[in-house]
Amino acid sequence: MVSESVRRYAPAKNRVDFTGERPDFTQTLKEWTERTNIGRGIANALIEGEQAKAELKRVTEQHTALRAGIERLRAKMAQASQAVPDVTKHLEQHADYILARRDDIMNRSDKVCAPHAAMMDETDHSLDDLESVLQVMGNGAPLPSGESSQG
């Protein structure tokens, strides 16, 4: 038991009466447990909410990075599609240059060979005569004049 002197000096509102019936704290403990469980549920929900926010942020950043990559690729493809006509024009210029040189070389070869044209015609007629003789020797009819065996 608590001594009388302790009771006298203890403040009235903080005095605990140990002499009476002991209270049943079972109901109080159940209520506190329920409140604690509710508090834990709220705390868990808050934690899960924060985790969901972090995951959403991560996914959003990843999506933004992917989108930026796609936009870069789209810009490169647009540049590449513009390069095709430029490359085609460049190749056509090379082809035109080669064609122009071909015509120039053909004209030069005609000029160079012009003095020898008579000699080449005579050689061509001699070859026709030789083919005709070979035709006769092969027991065939002579070729008409001016016609070769290939024509």
Inform me whether the pLDDT recorded for 151 exceeds 50.
no
116-to-21, 109, 143 alpha-carbon distances in Å: 145, 11, 27
What pLDDT shows up at residue 103? 85
pTM above 0.95, yes or no: no
Handedness of CA 63, 68, 71, 72 (dihedral sign): negative
Q: Is the dihedral of CA 102, 108, 111, 117 positive or negative?
A: negative
CB-based burial, 103-125: b 16+ in 10 Å, e otherwise: eeeeeeeeeeeeeeeeeeeeeee
Taking the C-alpha atoms of residue 16 and residue 7, their distance in angstroms, rounded to an integer, is 9
pLDDT in tens, 25-81: 777 777 878 778 787 888 888 889 899 999 999 999 999 999 999 999 999 998 888
